[in-house]
Chains A and B, each alone.
Chain A
Amino acid sequence: MINERNTDIEIRLLMEAIYLKYSYDFREYSGASIKRRILHAVRQFDCRTVSALQERVLHDPGMFMQLLQYLTIPVSEMFRDPGHFLALRGEVVPLLRTWPSLKVWIAGCSTGEEVYSMAILLREEGLLERTILYATDINPRSLEKAKQGIYPLQDMQAYAENYRKAGGRRDFSEYYTAAYGNAIIDSSLRENVTFADHSLATDSVFSETQLVSCRNVLIYFNKPLQDRALGLFHESLCHRGFLVLGSKESLEFSAYSGRFEALVRPERIYRKS
């Protein structure tokens, strides 16, 4: 039986060690989920305790990179929550057209599905050519996958259905080439995408943007860290810029609730007020 009190202490020490050694800051992540993921990693790496895992992580950067795959959650799909993208098309795109050039930040882009969904939407609306997309994440392996844009072919059927429900007007298969069980996303979609390592916990704002999309990232943060991230978005967004969140995320319990107005509340689309 693992001693619970010891485990809690060990997890705090591990987070501190990771921060001091690798500058990744998980100290203000939601505790319940991070605890489960660390204990899962402890079992997978065949460690007796969290301290044993810490010993390996501290002395072996390769081990840290493996642990990082457990600490981040790469759950994503293209055109996830189609209603959200439909609302972006209907309510946000007409307003985006009023800017001569656009900068869009996909924060916590994971393996890139959100990036390509946004790029497809912008291309179909004739905006991609005048847009720069910043796709950021803390996990270098996820970013690498995002850059490659290669996904299992078997997922494409579900994505095509999402795309159709999201107001897609073409045959979704135009956007990828099938090869060896994979779907290789049309590389022209990422011509204007800059992939970059960026942490919402430790880094600062790098550009002014018209739209920030950060979906299903904030739920892994505690309230102070959520507020830090929202502060970055608020600072990055231009006057009347747009913030879009995940379907179960809202500004309601945050310090920034008064600084954005809901444009399409059920789809979590907000506008800087």
Chain B
Amino acid sequence: MNGVEAVVIGASAGGVAALFKVLGALPEGFAIPVLCVLHLPGDRHSPLAEVLQRRLHRPVREARDKELIAPGLIYVAGPGYHLSVERDLCLSLSQEDPVHFSRPAIDFLFQSAADAYGAGLLGILLTGANEDGAEGLLHIKNSGGRTVVQDPREAQVALMPEAALALQQPDHILSLSGIGRLLATLEPRAC
């Protein structure tokens, strides 16, 4: 699968283990930026970025406002703020009301990234006990991007992938290891 400029991943309940598995499969020198929203309790400090970085041995950052998205980095949304991608490919944070009780909301990241990257975006929705992300994933598909949903039979909590499948037939329905293999085949869009 060629021509991917960015990958966005959303997950909720069961999402930490799923993220470890998917991101752990990224090959050495993987140059495509990956942006993740994982629902987390509370809105204070979260150690997710540090924990991921230690486990994955690759640079992981909590997304910062107006930071330019850099190749080869993994960004995670911090707690209490929505994360969006702007048209000039910088990140922005905001505190609009929670969506599906969640801030950060997967829908907001997916929708804004679809607007920014269009056909160059790959969206992945994983396990979760809530419908956040389904509409955003549909927006990615409608904007020409590619969509992947974790196989609900394998997901720790099937509600989130099932909500996505109720709205669209994604390009792939895969297990976590299948998603890992797919990511490993990605090649960045030639500039």
Contact = CB atoms under 8 A, between A and B. Distances in A.
Contacts of B87: 31
B86 A216 contact: no
A33 B96 contact: yes
B115 interface: yes
Given A219-B65, A223-B66, A226-B66, A1 B96 contact: no
B108 A216 contact: no
Interface stretch (B20-28, B77-85, B148-156, B180-188): B77-85
B64 A30 contact: no
Interface in A25-48: 30-33, 35-37
A249 B96 contact: no
Nearest to B82: A33
Given A32-B108, A36-B108, A248 B65 contact: yes
A33 B90 CA distance: 13
Interface in B140-189: 142-143
A179 interface: no
B50 interface: no
B119 to A, nearest CB: 12
A37 B96 contact: yes
A111 to B, nearest CB: 14
| Chain B interface residue bracket vs A | 20 to 34
B64 A252 contact: yes
B115 A4 contact: yes
A32 B65 contact: no
Contacts of B65: 218-219, 248-250, 253
Given A4-B115, A32-B86, A36-B108, A73 B66 contact: no
Given A4-B115, A32-B84, A253 B67 contact: yes
A249 B91 CA distance: 12
A222 B86 contact: yes
A37 B115 CA distance: 15
A249 B67 CA distance: 11
B46 interface: no
By CB atoms of chain A within 10 A, which of B84, B94, B95, B143 has the most? Answer: B94
Nearest to B114: A4
A12 to B, nearest CB: 12
Given A219-B93, A219-B94, A220-B94, A30 B67 contact: no
Contacts of A30: 84, 86, 92, 94
Contact of A248 (B81, B85, B96, B108): B81
A21 to B, nearest CB: 25
Interface in A213-258: 216, 218-220, 222-223, 226, 248-250, 252-254
A37 B96 CA distance: 9
Contact of A253 (B66, B88, B94, B112): B66
Q: Sort A-B residue pairs by CB-CB distance and give the 7 closest, nearest first.
A: A32-B84, A32-B112, A33-B94, A30-B92, A75-B95, A253-B66, A219-B93
Interface of B: 64-68, 78, 81-82, 84-88, 90, 92-96, 108, 111-112, 115-116, 142-143
18 contacts: A4-B115, A8-B115, A32-B84, A32-B92, A33-B84, A33-B92, A33-B94, A33-B96, A35-B115, A73-B94, A73-B96, A75-B95, A219-B81, A223-B66, A226-B66, A248-B65, A250-B64, A253-B67
